[in-house]
Amino acid sequence: KNNPALLPIQIAYYTGLRIGEVCALTWQDIDLKEQCLTVRRSMRYNGTRHKLEVGATKRKKIRTVDFCNALA
């Protein structure tokens, strides 16, 4: 239960988001009242620069994803 990776994995499981999208979420993207997430960006590893980068999502679209009570 004290594993720091647990919450990102639960978010990915309950919403169907990619791990990179989950890692790029900010508190501004989360609406607990409406129980939805706004996916604006994704995090990925750039092998050329050997760095993690935050950029556009795979399809380069902003989308809203609902989540259930279990995740809330």
Whether the pLDDT of residue 17 is over 90: the answer is: yes
Give the pLDDT score at 2. Answer: 84
Whether the pLDDT of residue 28 is over 80: the answer is: yes
Over residues 54-72, mean pLDDT: 93
* Containing structural domain, residue 44: 6-66
**Within-domain flag for 54:** yes
Query: 11, 32 in Cβ contact below 8 A?
Result: no
**Within-domain flag for 1:** no
Q: In the chain, pLDDT over 70 holds for what percent of residues?
A: 99
Alpha helices for 16-54 (secondary structure H) = 19-23
* Count of structural domains, the chain: 1
Query: 27, 10 in Cβ contact below 8 A?
Result: no
Over residues 41-53, mean pLDDT: 96
Give the pLDDT score at 10. Answer: 94
**Within-domain flag for 53:** yes
**Within-domain flag for 52:** yes
